[in-house]
Structure 1
């Protein structure tokens, strides 16, 4: 594991699975990026994966296996540790409810999710969506990513054909979670990693999910769980996604971000651009800000377990 005392057998198996996902497409190990206006270092991070947009230039990023949360400024190019998470937590995808000053964080192999207060860093709620992955066997759950709608926070699970919903009341308070069983192609769990990134469109009336093993994007009806493939789009090793209007960016572990133009009815898409950078090192998630994408480098290619000296957010034009 990286230089952390929080490693467990489950974490090691998690790294094995993550590495198997990206190992076929990563053909080299770029040197660690030095600090520059294009790079924001997460100081002291032992791993990285998720990112969320806050107010103004503020962003939040997580230590994947350590669970800590960093808070940074995209304009100043700085970041610092904000939340020192309790031992045993992870931090995968995340989404900030800036209206109510809460951060929703997917907990990965623990089967959990967490809600943090963005003013104090305190834990507001903890959810156990699925039994935690056993310490001496292959993982059985990976709570991977999250998005917010008017109904609440929707979470994906990379090893289960379901979505988890944490409802949010009109005062911004999270309630008891419920599970939505998926139907159709998005329910496929035959791959090593399956459902991954998630985004909401049509004011939350439709969800879009990324499927890593299938290299596909699917729409999901949040009421019925019915899913359908967005045709015309192939995004192998897709991880997190960003949606703005009819534009979608798919972050791929193969060191690129693919921009997709969605059809009005969301049944099809066309690839408009493939964004690459010498600074990418197994990117996983991104946010969009002022005509740029802020992309997290997870660096799963640095060894087994990963051994990067630093983790960072890379800024590229969208």
Structure 2
């Protein structure tokens, strides 16, 4: 082998080793795959979920405690202690404030999602009441009451300023919506794709309604050939509406028109790890749902989980 050939081979070998050495650390430090099933504390009895970045927040229907979980490594901690009343539907805004529906407490709380400090509390109604879910718009937070044909509106001021304790209004629902029996009526709530109105699901009839937030007038969302039996949490991504059907262990996927007056069911999402999921939020390319396990008698040691599935 001549000197020129040995020199060329030496240069090639050195370059190969350099490339391999540079690539190895990146491969060795690759982030672990996100878990698709994450444990919540035993006995927690989750209901609502809200997400911000890599974190998810869960409310306990049993105690009102709020738990925060890192969706990448599955680690969690208590953010807010038990209140003695439920914490149900949750939403978090860009300012890091968590809006919490108070169930049978008839109230709502606004919590700092970093410190757990209660920033404000609003007493909407007295019993019988069940403040179930919440949606945030640029102008207000709207809450459903499963026991009454009404929405509660919490106006947001300049730069999202919260109103005083009595600064909310109740919006009676009229038109197509009718309260039925004593079961769970109004449940999940989202804004329409055009942002001009709201959509709610009535759990015990499986019907979607479009609500004019200025007047409370409702119309039925036309979804031919489908009833959203056991409809619970709602999530809107673009013009796709995800409707959690809790005891059916599935999510109905609905393509809506721009105004949210009509839609078509394009499919359903199921997963063997679903165990009566209630609400849904998107994070890190997945839909995450807490398993409420309504059909399992709760005990202090009953396990609860969160399931991540791919959207469609």
Determine which of 46, 69, 77 is the counterpart of 2:66: 69
- The CA deviation at 1:80 is 2.0
Return the match for 2:171 from 167, 180, 184: 180
Deviations 1:10-58 (A, max 9, x none): xxxxxxxxxxxxxxxxxxxxxxxxxx9211111245211000012x111
Give a deviation string over 1:169-227, Cα, whole Å, max 9, x none: 12322111111111123342435110000011356421111110110111111101111
Separation in 2, partners of 1:216, 1:72: 33
Who is 2:23 aligned against?
none
* Matches of 1:111 and 1:83, distance apart in 2: 19
Q: Which has the larger radius of gyration?
A: 2
Q: Tell me what 2:87 maps to.
A: 91
Shift of residue 306 of structure 1?
6.2
Structure 1 residues 238 and 106, CA, compared in 2 at 3 Å: closer, same or farther? same
Q: Which has the higher contact order (CA 8 A, sep 6+)?
A: 1
The alpha carbon displacement at 1:245 in A equals 1.1
Aligned length: 272
Q: How does 1:132-143 map to 2 (within 5 A)?
A: 133=127, 140-143=128-131
Aligned runs of 1:194-273 on 2, under 5 Å?
Answer: 194-202=185-193, 204-232=195-223, 233-253=226-246, 254-273=248-267
- Which of the residues 120, 135, 141 maps onto 2:115? 120
Q: Deviations over 1:206-254 (max 9, x none)?
A: 1111110110111111101111111124210000000011101000112
**Structure 2 equivalent of residue 43 of structure 1:** 41
TM-score using structure 2 length: 0.83
Structure 2: give runs of 5+ residues left out of the alignment: 1-33
Whether the 8 Å CA contact 1:51–1:296 is kept in 2: the answer is: yes
Note the C-alpha offset of 1:90. 1.2
Q: Following superposition, which runs of at least 4 residues in structure 1 exceed 6 angstroms of deviation? A: none
> Could you tell me how far 1:299 is from its partner in structure 2?
0.5
Instruction: Tell me which residue corresponds to 1:52.
Output: 50
- Unaligned runs of at least 5 residues, structure 1: 1-35, 134-139
Counterpart Cα distance in 2 of 1:177 and 1:74: 34
Match of 1:151 in 2: 139
Relative to structure 1, is the Cα distance of residues 309 and 44 closer, same or farther in structure 2, using a 3 angstrom cutoff?
A: closer
Compute the TM-score of the two structures, normalised by the length of structure 1. Answer: 0.81
